[in-house]
Amino acid sequence: MSTRLGKGGRLLDRSRPLEFTFNGKRMKGYRGDTLASALLANGQTLVGRSFKYHRPRGIVASGAEEPNALVNLGRDGRFEPNQRATTQELFDGLTAESQNHWPSLEFDVGVVNNYASKFLPAGFYYKTFMAPRPAWKHVFEPFIRKSAGLGRAPVDRDADIYEHFHLHVDILVIGGGIAGLTAAKQAAATGASVLVVEQTAHWGGRAPVDAGEIDGVPAADWVKNAVEQLESADNVRMFSRCMGSGVYDHGSVLAYERLTDHAPQDDTPRHRLWRIRTKHVITATGAIERPLSFAGNDLPGVMLAGAVRDYAVNWGVSAGDRTVVVTNNDDAYRTAFALLEMGLEVPAIVDARTTPQSPLIEKARAMGIRVETGRGVAKVKGRARVEGVAITTQAGEGAVLETIPCDVVAMSGGWSPVVHLWSHCGGKLTWDETQAFFRPDRTKAPTGDKGQPFVTVVGSANGMLGTAEVLADAHAGGGAAVASVTGQEPATVPVPQAEAETPAPIEPVWMMPQGASHELRSKMWLDYQNDVKVSDVQLAAREGYESVEHTKRYTTLGMATDQGKLSNINGLAVLAQSLNADIPAVGTTTFRPPYTPISMGSIAGEARGEIFQPLRRTPMDDWHDANGAYWEPVGHWRRPYCYRGVAETAAEAVIREVKNVREGVGLLDASTLGKILVKGPDAGRFLDMMYTNMMSTLKVGRCRYGLMCSENGFLMDDGVVARVGEDEWLCHTTSGGADHIHAHMEEWLQTEWWDWKVYTANLTEQYAQIGVVGPKAREVLELVGGMDVSKETLPFMAWADGQLDGIPVRIYRISFSGELSFEIATKAGYGRALWDKLLEAGRVFGVMPYGTEALHVLRAEKGFIMIGDESDGTVIPQDLGLDWAISKKKEDFIGKRAQERSHFADPERWKLVGLETTDGSVIEDGAYAVAPGENVNGQRNVQGRVTSTYWSPTLNRGIAMGLVAHGPDRMGEVVEFSKVDGGTVAAKIVSPVFYDPEGEKQNV
Amino acid sequence: MYDPVGALQPGTYAGFAEVQVLPPQGMIVVRGDLSDGALQSAVTAAVPLAMPGQTGASFENGRGIFWMSPDELLLMCPYAEVAGHVDSIGKALAGTHHLVADISDARAVFAVDGVDAREVLGKLTPADLAPSVFGPGSFRRTRLAQVPAAVLCETDNRFVLVCFRSVAGYVHELLKTAAIPGSEVGYWRD
């Protein structure tokens, strides 16, 4: 049983007891605990079930590398699955439950998978695909879905808020251990701006537990002094609970700050994602201990040796009374010393090395600890937790020499530098034969814009395991990094000193014992979370998997939420052995950000709720909102689709609005239309290139409708152009097109015609624009007064400046509805006043506002095309019968050459026609005109498609436009259009102009 | 007879820094050859301040000249003066290639004021706001979260922001969210 010790726990505040629950059970802890240390303190060694076999799992590690202790944390709006107990600080009222168990943690039905493990080998998932199809649907899929998955997905809306913080800093130090602090001191000494981030709540990393003395004082005191010194420096900032998450190109780094995970509260951000631009990154990310692969190494009670002493020293927690230490290196001896000092028992240190000699080993022997060399663990005894270990000869096959009763096995397979952040952006690794790990190759660092290295790795992350080495490396690395950024050597900061160590060399042990039988190998876990064993990787190798990347995906090794922090090196070593290859030849899988999972909320930052996306509002938006607007998104704008009256459906409102425009007068908020001013001596020539028709010949005071094509000839945008001065044109674009058409113009001006004298300005938002549309439109304006809007003074397709009731306006006589129509532009700040004025004056004429749907119906009745309906990026103006708007006289325009390609001149291209159903119904959106026979894929042949289809209140029938093969030559012919229910509807091909084909109504 | 109405009613929100909605501000875009003496004198006649250099700004008491691009300036002046300046600059530059236009109504203007005002912006713009880089008088065209904006550092504790009018509501909410009391980063404090 694990328990709280009577004394000790350097991070605990025993005067601050806290309560929490685990699976509904009330437990106690102290401020300073992690959830993991508190669970152990309460005797909770079983914390979850494994992914595939539902085997009982306990806490293995004490930090970010923990694979097993994942919990569902919190409830309701703060529920979150897969939270790591080792990195979750305890707070009062915390609720956690274990994952992947049913019906309970102690008694789990899924554990039968454990006995069926023979049938769940590596690549099981892929192998199921080879079975007959019904087996997948009825057997494998339900089974896999039932047994897979860890935590539950949250149901409620996240109760917390999140934010980003952008920062530019000269030097970023990731990792607040002694290496990071030493490097930061070097950096700080130059005056460069420095940010130091540390993922835990504490500075100093492992040093206070392991390092002894630095500069003649205990490591913890040295750390405290270093932090104080750095904090007092003007050019240094220190943030704990802030993890370096990913290193990206050109010194872009993400850091993940957990602001309130240790003390949840409302109304302040929970996480802050730091988006950092730095000249240089120093990674001081430490090292992670490796497990050893022996049978039963996944039983609760088998822990990393370093974690066992962390729990004792940091949190005053004993993982158990009797701990057997199993190791292939000297470091694990420290665990034995720490435990003995706490008054706990260490029955034996089982050392796989045959004749290791070092001061630490001598010390152990001198303390009377039984040290067994050349030995290993044959298997761990126990069902739900460790009861003892069977000892064997490491060189042998697993014959049991002796069984030692114990309740904890503290294992150490050596340490692996945390190379993740070094590797994210391309830093290369090299295999260190002597120390048996991959370490960064400092000669192959990630490089910046000038090819300069922009990451320096220091300390244990650079493969330095002794305190003295770590300090010297960090001092030198920090200095070099600073010099590369500032061009000056840092002021003389002395190298921190620690006693040199002379450990006995590590002996790589990838399997224990080295000649283990298949039965033993089937119980040696590599990846605890995903249930990948030594036998699985060996099977993959036998089945032909040679690449480590393929083996990873086949076996799922390292694919769990811990991303293989414990399993990767062991797994690839086993693979290398199976393939008879060298470890460096097999290589590692790719290290990708984030280092540990970061919350989705932090990625979204402020972008949620009201500010998920920008919402663009016109100057009349408030009025629409207060008057029944039924909104429709148009780009980022919101526009009224229609204005619903009391007890009126949207469809009814549209019919009312259309009729009111045809018979009386309607108001349209057209402010979203793009308005681009184009000015200069070459502006006319430029617009002749931008538009398919001629704009340079337009007279001042007049308007002309124009089409814009892409260089590939496809119709891109349309709108009315007004010549507003001798060398000045105002181009109206579609609502969604304003920004990209402006960019399109600027691109041509800046890259192709840079010597043309043309300036553009996007004035879209400077003006509110209101359409006054309908036979009574003129009367409304005359009642407002201030301008002569008679046909003689302001004819169709002309514009004039003036004032309406004292408001400066420009009126364009243009029509998108077929009716008498005035589009009135005024400064946005006067838009609402003008709108109110027009409503007031129009009251006697029955004026009503109308929305985008009525706009669409009105234009469809007139056969006017709509960009995005009749065009979809594959349509050229000629398809739409717009040949009249394509100049034959012009030598060139954008798209001209493309339109001369044979495919574009092909008479088989579908062409625009009007469509009238024979029964008067509305053709379904997107319907195809069917043709006899089937194509090679067994699909019905088609001969056209609908582009716009509406109920016409004016004609009292369904009308549509569509592209049909040889359409214009087939007037009067009836074709069938598909329906969603599988049937068809007959429609007659007619002219697309359904209403007022002579255009008499708009020209009055 | 009518007064211009801004996208939002002027007002303040008291976060850890104060977010202020400012009333309509006169703004003029001028495009042309910025090295041309005629252009410089036309501009400085309208707004009597020094011509700014690349990325620079000159401003004083609600008037300013801001460098927007190698061939573009933004002028600020009282709203009522705009028409006169547009006219006078246009006349002064008649015959030379230029563009001058009133864009006062196309914009919304905010101020963020307070000891940690810089941090409100730091949460929203990727621009380098370090006091040593972006001190009083500095001006940037950048973005605030998902929309374009320009930021002016008036004093170490006061910043003026300009965005498009249609997204004024969005930007206002952004600023208020970023200024929530208790969310100070404390990065740039002395």
What is the C-alpha to C-alpha distance for residues A193 and A171, in angstroms, rounded to an integer?
6
Would an 8 Å CB–CB cutoff place A830 in contact with chain B?
yes
Q: B190–A237: do the CB atoms touch at under 8 Å?
A: no
Would you call A765 and B106 a contact, using CB atoms and an 8 Å cutoff? yes
Q: What does the block give as tokens for A741?
A: 């058409």
Whether A759 and B105 lie within 8 Å, measured CB to CB: no
Q: Are A166 and B125 within 8 A, CB to CB?
A: yes
Please give, rounded to a whole number of angstroms, the shortest distance from the CA of B99 to a CA of chain A.
6
Rounded distance between C-alpha atoms, residue A56 and residue B15, angstroms: 50
CB A703 within 8 A of CB A721: yes
Q: How far apart are CA A732 and CA A714, in angstroms?
A: 19
The verdict on A613 touching B (C-beta cutoff 8 Å) is yes
List chain B residues with CB under 8 Å of A636.
Answer: 167
How many CA atoms lie within 13 Å of A213's alpha carbon, on the beta-carbon side? Answer: 4
> How much is the pLDDT for A493?
82
Q: Are A706 and A695 in contact (CB under 8 A)?
A: yes
**Percent composition of chain A: helix, strand, coil (DSSP 3-state, to 5):** 25, 30, 45
Is residue B31 exposed (0-12), middle (13-18) or buried (19+ Cβ within 10 Å)? buried
Using the 8-state DSSP alphabet, how is residue B34 labeled? T
- Looking at the complex, does the CB of residue A763 fall below 8 Å from at least one CB of chain B? yes
CA distance to partner chain A, nearest, from residue B175 (Å): 10
Per-residue confidence band for A52, with pLDDT thresholds at 50, 70 and 90: confident
Cβ atoms of residues A213 and A499 within 8 Å: yes
**Contact of A313 with A210, CB cutoff 8 Å:** no
* Reported confidence tier of residue A634, pLDDT bands at 50, 70, 90: very high
Neighbours of B61 (CB within 10 A): 7
Tens-digit pLDDT profile for residues A700-752: 999 999 999 999 999 999 999 999 999 999 999 999 999 999 999 999 999 99
- Which of A729, A723, A744, A746 has the alpha carbon at shortest distance from A679? A729
Query: What residues have CB less than 8 Å from A451, skipping those under 6 apart?
Result: none
Which residues on chain A are in Cβ contact (under 8 Å) with B29? Answer: 761
Confidence class for position A144, pLDDT limits 50, 70, 90: low
Q: Give all strands of the β-sheet with A388-393 in edge-to-edge order.
A: A375-381, A388-393, A402-405
For chain B, say whether A827 makes contact (Cβ under 8 Å): yes
Q: Is the pLDDT of residue A349 over 90?
A: yes
Best of B1, B2, B138 to disrupt the A interface by mutation (most A CBs within 10 Å)? Answer: B2
> CA–CA distance from A159 to each of A5, A77, A156 (Å)?
37, 5, 8
> Please, which residues have CB within 8 angstroms of residue A99's CB and are 6 or more apart in sequence?
A48, A49, A70, A71, A72, A81, A82, A150, A151, A152
Q: Given CB atoms, is A617 within the 8 Å cutoff of chain B? A: yes
The Cα of B26 is separated from the nearest Cα of chain A by a number of Å equal to: 12
- Supply the pLDDT for residue A147: 58
**Dihedral sign (CA A899, A902, A906, A909):** negative
Q: Euclidean distance between the first and final Cα of chain B, in Å?
A: 50
Of residues B2, B29, B169, nearest to A617 (C-beta): B169
Inspect the interface and report whether the beta carbons of B173 and A237 lie closer than 8 Å. Answer: no
Digit-coded pLDDT (tens) for A374-416: 999 999 999 889 999 999 999 999 999 999 999 999 999 999 9
Residue A735 parent element (H or E): none
pLDDT digits (tens, 9 = 90+) for A858-894: 999 999 999 999 999 999 999 999 999 999 999 999 9
Superfamily of domain A907-1004: Aminomethyltransferase beta-barrel domains (2.40.30.110)
Query: Is A765 close to B29, i.e. CB distance below 8 A?
Result: no
C-alpha span between B91 and B42 (Å, rounded): 9
pLDDT in tens, A847-867: 999 999 999 999 999 999 999
Name the closest residue on chain B to residue A675, using Cα atoms.
B106
Interface of A with B in 228-267 (CB under 8 A): 234, 237, 267
A481, pLDDT greater than 60: yes
- The domain ranges of chain B are 11-178
Give domain limits for chain A.
3-110, 161-285+417-486, 301-414, 524-586, 674-766, 907-1004
Contact B2 A610 (CB under 8 A): no
Q: How far is A834 from chain B (nearest CA, A)?
A: 10
Question: What Cα–Cα distance (Å) separates residue A945 from each residue in A251, A545, A882, A975, A987?
Answer: 51, 50, 18, 11, 12
Partners of A606 on chain B (C-beta within 8 Å) are 123-124, 145, 174, 177-178
CATH number of this structure's domain A674-766:
3.30.70.1400
Chain A: residue nearest B101 by CA? A761
Give the CA-trace dihedral at A17, A18, A21, A25, to 10 degrees: 20
Q: What tokens does A260 get?
A: 């309130």
- Going by pLDDT thresholds of 50, 70 and 90, the confidence category of residue A562 is confident
User: What is the model's pLDDT at position A109?
Assistant: 63
- Tell me how close the Cα of A76 comes to any Cα of chain B, in angstroms: 23
Can you give the C-alpha Rg of chain A in angstroms? Answer: 38
A508 within 8 A of A548, measured Cβ to Cβ: no
* Distance between CA atoms of residues A37 and A3, nearest Å: 9
| Contact (Cβ atoms closer than 8 angstroms) between residue A296 and residue A382 | yes
Region A576-581: what's the mean pLDDT?
Answer: 93
How does A825-863 read in b/e, with b if 16+ C-beta sit within 10 Å? bbbbbbbbbbbebbbebbeebebbbbbbbbbbbbbbbbb
Fold of A301-414: FAD/NAD(P)-binding domain (3.50.50)
What sections of A595-637 are H helices per DSSP?
Answer: 600-604, 621-626
Residues 6+ apart with CB under 8 A from A813: A703, A794, A795, A796, A797, A798, A799, A821, A822, A823
Mutate one of B25, B166, B190 to test the A interface: name it (highest A CB count within 10 A).
Answer: B166
Q: How large is the angle between the packed helices A219-231 and A178-188, nearest 10 degrees?
A: 30
Yes or no: say if A568 and A423 are a contact pair by the CB < 8 Å rule: no
Residue of A nearest to B175 (CA): A606
Q: Is residue A352 a contact partner of residue A369, using CB atoms and an 8 Å limit?
A: no
**Tokens standing for residue B102:** 């009133």
Collapsing DSSP to helix, strand or coil, A968 comes out as helix
Question: Which chain A residues are closer than 8 Å to B98 by Cβ?
Answer: 759
Q: Residue A102 has what pLDDT?
A: 64
Which run of H or of E encompasses A545?
none
CA pair distance A57, A68, nearest whole angstrom: 6
8 A C-beta contact, residue A712 and residue A723: no
> What phi and psi, each to the nearest 5 degrees, are found at residue A523?
-120, 10
Asked if the ipTM is above 0.90, the reply is yes
Q: Which helix (H) or strand (E) holds B154?
A: strand B147-155
Q: What are the angstrom distances between the C-alpha of A312 and each of A344, A431, B173?
A: 10, 33, 49
Closest residue in chain B to residue A682, using alpha carbons only:
B97
Tally Cβ neighbours within 10 Å of residue A553: 16
pLDDT reading at A799 higher than 60: yes
Rounded Cα–Cα distance for residues B71 and B50 (Å):
17
- Give B166 to chain A, closest Cα distance, Å: 5
Q: Which of residues 692-751 of A touch B (CB under 8 A)?
A: none
Contact (CB, 8 A) for A912 and A962: yes
* Inter-chain residue contact B180 with A268, CB threshold 8 Å: yes
Closest Cα partner for A866 from A979, A950, A751, A803?
A: A950
Task: Collect all residues with Cβ–Cβ distance below 8 Å to A141 and sequence separation of at least 6.
Answer: none
What does the pLDDT read at residue A49? 85
| Beta carbons of B123 and A163 less than 8 Å apart | yes
For A78-133, write each residue's pLDDT tens digit: 999 999 999 999 999 999 999 877 667 777 666 666 666 666 677 766 776 676 77
Q: What whole-number distance in Å separates Cα of residue A451 and Cα of residue A458?
A: 21
CA distance linking residue A261 with residue A920, whole number of Å: 63
Peptide bond into A417 cis (omega under 30): no
Question: Is the per-residue pLDDT at B78 higher than 70?
Answer: yes
Please tell me the distance in Å from A105's CA to the nearest CA on chain B: 39
Four-way CATH pick for B11-178: 3.30.70.141, 3.30.70.270, 3.10.20.30, 3.30.1360.120: 3.30.1360.120
Interface test with A, best of B71, B185, B188 (most A CBs within 10 A): B185
* pLDDT exceeds cutoff 60 at A782: yes
**Cβ-Cβ contacts under 8 Å for A853 (sequence gap 6 or more):** A632, A641, A642, A650, A654, A657
Is residue A994 within 8 A of residue A862, CB to CB? The reply is: yes
Of A267, A615, A757, the CB nearest to B182: A267
Q: How far is the alpha carbon of A619 from chain B, nearest alpha carbon, in Å?
A: 7
Residues of A in contact with B183 (CB under 8 A): 163, 268-269
Alpha carbon distance A852, A639 (integer Å): 7
Select from B5, B125, B166 the Cβ nearest to the Cβ of A618. B166
Q: Which pLDDT value is given to residue A178?
A: 98
Strand partners, A278: A169
Provide CATH code, domain A3-110.
3.10.20.440
The answer, yes or no, to whether residue A781 has pLDDT greater than 90, is yes
- What was the pLDDT predicted at B62? 87
Contacts of B176 in chain A (CB under 8 A): none
Predicted local distance difference test score (pLDDT) of residue A137: 73
Residues A810 and A725: their CA atoms lie apart, in Å, by 13
Q: Are A776 and A782 in contact (CB under 8 A)?
A: no
Contact B123 A161 (CB under 8 A): no
User: How do residues A428-437 score in pLDDT, each as one tens digit?
Assistant: 999 999 999 9
Is A765 close to B4, i.e. CB distance below 8 A? no
Q: At A863, list the tokens.
A: 């056969």
Mutate to test the interface with B, among A160, A166, A275 (most CBs of B within 10 A): A166
pLDDT digits (tens, 9 = 90+) for B156-188: 999 999 999 999 999 999 999 999 999 999 999
How many contacts, defined by CB atoms under 8 Å, are there between A and B? 143
Neighbouring CB atoms inside 10 A of A786's CB total: 15
From B6's Cα to the closest Cα of chain A, the distance in A is: 6
pLDDT of residue A375: 97
Q: What is the mean pLDDT of chain A?
A: 94
- A524-586 fold: Arc Repressor Mutant, subunit A (1.10.10)
Nearest-CA neighbor of A318 among A336, A347, A342, A348?
Answer: A342
Q: Name the residue facing A766 among B103, B170, B190 (closest C-beta).
A: B103
Hey, is the C-beta of A806 within 8 angstroms of any chain B C-beta? yes
pLDDT of residue B189: 86
DSSP per residue, A508-539: --SSBSTT--HHHHTT-EEETTTTEEHHHHHH
- Distance separating alpha carbons of residues A451 and A558, to the nearest angstrom: 32
Give the tokens for residue A600: 């989705």
Of 1.10.287.610, 3.40.630.30, 3.30.450.20, 3.50.50.60, the CATH number of A161-285+417-486 is 3.50.50.60
| Cβ–Cβ < 8 Å for A826, A767 | yes
Residues A637/A618, Cβ–Cβ less than 8 Å: yes
pTM of the full predicted structure?
Answer: 0.94
